[in-house]
Amino acid sequence: MKTKILLLIFILFSVATFAQKKEIATAKDYVKKNSNLEKAEQMMRTLLADSDNRRNTKIWNVLFDAQRRQYENGNEKLYLKQKFDTASIFNITSRMFRDMEVYDSLFNLPHPQESDAKEWRKSHGQLLNMIRPNLLNGGLFFIRKQKYDSAYLLLNQYIETASQPLFSAFHYDEKDKQLPVAAYWAVYASYKMGNRKQTLHHTYLALKDTTHYNQMLQLLAQTYLGEGDTVRYVNTLKEGFERNRLDDFFFSHLIDYYSARNDWQQALTMTNQALETDSHNQLFRITKSIILLNTGKYQECFAICDSLIHENDSLAEAWLNAGLALFNQGVALDKNPVLSAKKHGQVISFYKQALPYLEKYRQLQPDRKDRWALPLYTIYLNLNRGKEFDEIDKLLR
């Protein structure tokens, strides 16, 4: 009985071995004839899926030959400007790097049973080093196509070659000036995919890319905000603001942060710092007028808005803030339950002055009923503007 079992095992093993050899021979023939190369690659990949075959160098070599031939064919077509799917050349490059790195790890030096391991690493490393720029170029290609998952795959591979033993002879971490660029675009692709953890993966290296430093800080700030890390969010915005006070992103987001917390003093300090850099900047001046309005400094607010309107009468925010600065002064006086005739006259005067500014804002921003409707309602009521009051009253119902 035992002999029969052993014989059956031997037969099955022989059949499997024969089938494997036939697969390898067929794939080899495909490569030799430069046909069915993708099929040849897949045949070898199927064999390698069996753990018993992982250390069979013949299978790996046929796999590499099939991939290399695909790459060469694609490269030739691109060179000759023949019709060819550009993305496929980058995908082939990616597969070659992935598979050769796995192969290298299986026969990683020192390995006592593989005396040729050193030569394999050298030859494979040299081949991949020549086509390595395709990983970066491919990543940028997919960024432009908005295929961010494919972009990240290639860019991440490009970056990780710097720490792969297969490429140790090339010292990428010391010599490759494009690594920070690849890291920035890897961060960008991850951010676009909404993968916050992955976005932070190459942060340290990406911040070495001086060309995209401001953009990198913006991505980091948004990522920290998404993670609920307020401390890092604010610190990143502050760094960006200190580096470039004229960048609207850092200024606006910091102002929004302080405004949401009613920290008007900090918001005013920062706005004054921005104005020191550019005293004519309309965004900074509008922002200061909003802060002054919220802190009850109505005359200063009106002065800034009046100046802005004289420079550009299409600035809706300037009209609104000027109108509210006047309107709020009237409201403040009107809160007194017992008004003298003089005080009542002052209230009416403020409302009359505010009216053209608020009506102009309505004209410029008709959809912002939430901002102009109530003030105009109050003014029309106090000025006995029956027709206008009725219209606003209907809008508010």
- Shared domain for 80 and 126, answered yes or no, is no
- Shared domain for 103 and 68, answered yes or no, is no
Write out pLDDT tens, residues 321-359. 999 999 999 999 888 766 677 788 899 999 999 999 999
195 is in which domain, residue-wise? 96-107+117-208
Write out pLDDT tens, residues 370-390. 999 999 999 999 999 989 889
Query: Does the residue 262 lie in any domain?
Result: no
- Shared domain for 101 and 203, answered yes or no, is yes
Model confidence band, residue 192 (pLDDT cutoffs 50, 70, 90): very high
Write out pLDDT tens, residues 92-113. 999 999 998 888 888 765 554 5
For residues 110 and 331, give the distance between their C-alpha atoms in angstroms, rounded to a whole number: 84
Write out pLDDT tens, residues 21-72. 888 888 887 788 877 888 888 888 888 888 888 888 888 888 888 899 989 8
- Helix count (H) and strand count (E) of the chain? 21, 0
For residues 151 and 137, give the distance between their C-alpha atoms in angstroms, rounded to a whole number: 9
Residue where a domain terminates, one of 182, 208, 234: 208
Q: What is the largest CA-CA distance in the chain?
A: 121
Token pair 């603001």 in the structure block, residue: 241
Other beta carbons within 10 angstroms of residue 295's beta carbon come to 15
Amino acid identity for residue 381 in this structure: L
Query: Does the residue 357 lie in any domain?
Result: yes
Q: Enumerate residues 6+ apart whose C-beta is below 8 A from 108.
A: 117, 165
Number of compact structural domains in the chain: 3
Query: Does the residue 27 lie in any domain?
Result: yes
- Shared domain for 175 and 101, answered yes or no, is yes
Query: Does the residue 174 lie in any domain?
Result: yes
Query: Does the residue 62 lie in any domain?
Result: yes
- Shared domain for 198 and 142, answered yes or no, is yes
Angle between helices 57-79 and 37-48 (to 10 degrees): 150
Query: Does the residue 201 lie in any domain?
Result: yes
Query: Does the residue 182 lie in any domain?
Result: yes
Peptide bond into 180 cis (omega under 30): no
Query: Does the residue 79 lie in any domain?
Result: yes
- Shared domain for 134 and 162, answered yes or no, is yes
Burial 212-231 (b: 16+ CB within 10 A, else e): bbebbbbbbbbbbbeeeeee
